[in-house]
């Protein structure tokens, strides 16, 4: 019984593409999927970083360069993986950028830059993977949203809008791809120790405030996003699609501003 229970988390024989695998959450996800048996294509806009992660994984792991802002390039990259392996089972997309400015101070160029990477990039990945997987009749896609899709703070407006947009893309894709056997879900992290959040970590007061906002009183590590992602793409989550899995240490579960007397 234990062996059978463990088997539903295994990914043996499956081919996975992880976009953003060169660092942070993407790197952790690529390593986790490989450890559970998947053949992993480590994809990143930085080919050197992607190659280093693939080398660290070893085995059948491979590396490639892709800029998800370019739909044709994304299509070519995914098609090449599919043709090489004869299957294409899993896609995880992690990259995003943030320009922390109030709306009144945002420039159009900054708006376009954030939306292009976060929203159009996720759309390109979703559309391309969806074309291949719906034709095959199977597959699992995970995009990365954020708790900022449901709760915001000053300076996070445009980033939050893209993360909310990703949630709606995921739900729509789940509805459109489901009859072809393709599941689509999202992970919504809280604050995670990655290159994207390095400016916050460098400010002791800011770092501490974000840690205190979590019920667990700390930031997440990239590995703590990788395990939930591996769950979503495995058979253990075979009845999950159109879902947003919030992995935030309890950030969005409580108010946290005041401890009532005697509590």
106 a catalytic residue: no
**CA 177 to CA 253: how far, in whole Å?**
31
In contact, 44 and 20? CB cutoff 8 Å: yes
Q: Which of 159, 207, 210, 239 is catalytic?
A: 159
Phi/psi at 75 (5° precision) = -60, -45
Write down how long the chain is: 263
Contacts of 39 by beta carbon, 8 Å cutoff, 6+ apart: 14, 15, 16, 59, 60, 61, 62, 85
3-state helix, strand, coil in the chain (%, to 5): 50, 15, 35
Please give the full DSSP string across 38-99, using - where no structure is assigned: -EEEEEESSHHHHHHHHHHH-TT-EEEE--TT-HHHHHHHHHHHHHHHS---EEEE------
Which residues, in sequence order, are bridge partners of residue 44?
A: 65
Q: Which residues are catalytic?
A: 159
């Amino acid at each position: 019984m234990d062996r059978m229970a463990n088997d539903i988390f295994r990914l043996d024989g499956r081919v996975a593409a992880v976009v953003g695998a060169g660092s942070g959450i993407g790197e952790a996800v690529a390593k986790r999927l490989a450890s559970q048996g998947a053949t992993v294509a480590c994809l990143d806009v930085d080919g050197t970083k992607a190659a280093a992660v693939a080398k660290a994984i070893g085995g059948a792991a491979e590396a490639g360069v892709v800029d998800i802002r370019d739909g044709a390039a994304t299509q070519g990259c995914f098609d090449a993986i599919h043709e090489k392996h004869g299957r294409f089972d899993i896609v995880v997309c992690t990259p995003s950028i943030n320009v922390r400015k109030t709306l009144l101070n945002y420039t159009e160029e900054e708006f376009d830059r954030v939306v292009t990477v976060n929203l159009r990039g996720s759309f390109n990945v979703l559309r391309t993977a969806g074309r291949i997987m719906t034709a095959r009749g199977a597959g699992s896609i995970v995009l990365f949203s954020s708790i900022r899709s449901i709760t915001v703070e000053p300076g996070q407006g445009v980033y939050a809008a893209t993360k909310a947009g990703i949630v709606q893309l995921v739900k729509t894709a789940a509805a459109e791809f489901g009859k072809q056997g393709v599941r689509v879900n999202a992970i919504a992290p809280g604050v995670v120790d990655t290159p994207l959040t390095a400016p916050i970590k460098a400010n002791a007061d800011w770092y501490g405030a974000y840690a205190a906002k979590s019920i667990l009183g700390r930031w997440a590590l990239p590995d703590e996003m990788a395990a939930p992602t591996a769950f979503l793409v495995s058979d253990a989550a075979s009845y999950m699609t159109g879902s947003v899995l919030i992995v935030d240490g309890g950030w969005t579960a409580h108010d946290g501003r005041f401890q009532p007397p005697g509590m």
